[in-house]
Amino acid sequence: LPLRKFSRVVGFVNETQFPSGIQNRLIKTFASLYGINLEECERDWQQYTSMQEFFTRALKAGARPIDHQAALVSPADGVVLQCGVVGQEGELCIKGVPYDEREFVQEDASIPAPLQRGTQRLFCIIYLAPGDYHRFHSPATWRLCSYTHISGHLYSVHPLAVKWLTGLFCLNERVVLKGKWQFGKFIYAPVG
C-alpha cells in the first residue's frame, strides 16, 4: 500500500485553509466523531484555520491537572496499550510481538547496559487516537543528553495495526530522546 503517499495527501488536506464555514463544519464533525470536548480548547474552536491547527491545539490551563509530586506522569492523552519490564538483553514484548530495544533506538553499544543485580528497566506504550490532544510533554524531571530522528514509515499505530504489522514501532518514523533522571537512564520516543 502507498501509505507514505496517502499520509502526505492527508497532511495536505489537513493543512488546507478552507473557508471558515466549511472549516467549522469539518472541526465540529471531527470533534463529534471522536468525542472531543471543544470547551477544553485554549481558544474558541471556530478560530482554527485548518484541521492541522485544530489537531495540534493547545488546551486551557488546568484542563489536564498534573501531580507535580509524582516521579512520572503521562506525557500525553491516550490509552496505555502496555507497560512492562525490559529484559536483561533489551528484549520487550508489546501485544505479543517481540521487540529489541537496541533496534528501536538504533543504538548498539550502550543499550542495554548491564543491569545491577535487583534493578530493572520499564517501558510504557501510550496510543493517541485521532481525537486525543496531540501535544507531548515531559513525563518526568530529567536531563536530555541526546536525540536521534529515525526516518521510517508512517504506518498507523492503531492497536490493530500493532498486532497485524510485525515490528511496527521499529518501522515507523520516530524521535528518540535519551537522557538521565533520578533512577538512571531515561528514553522517551514519540513514534509517528
Q: Per-residue pLDDT tens for 142-156?
A: 999 999 999 988 888
Q: Which of 76, 181, 91 is nearest to 132 (CA)?
A: 76
Q: Is 160 helix (H, G, I), strand (E, B) or coil?
A: helix
- pTM, two decimal places: 0.80
Rounded percentage of the chain residues whose pLDDT exceeds 90: 45
CA distance 5 to 177: 27
Task: Give pLDDT tens digits for 13-68.
Answer: 889 999 999 999 999 999 999 999 999 999 999 999 999 999 899 999 999 999 99
Q: What 3 state SS string does 61-128 have?
A: CCCCCCCCCCCCCCCCCCEEEEEEEECCCCEEEECCEEEEHHHHHCCCCCCCCCCCCCCCEEEEEEEC
Task: Give pLDDT tens digits for 121-142.
Answer: 888 989 888 888 888 899 999 9
Q: Which residues contact 166 (CB under 8 A, 6 or more apart)?
A: 97
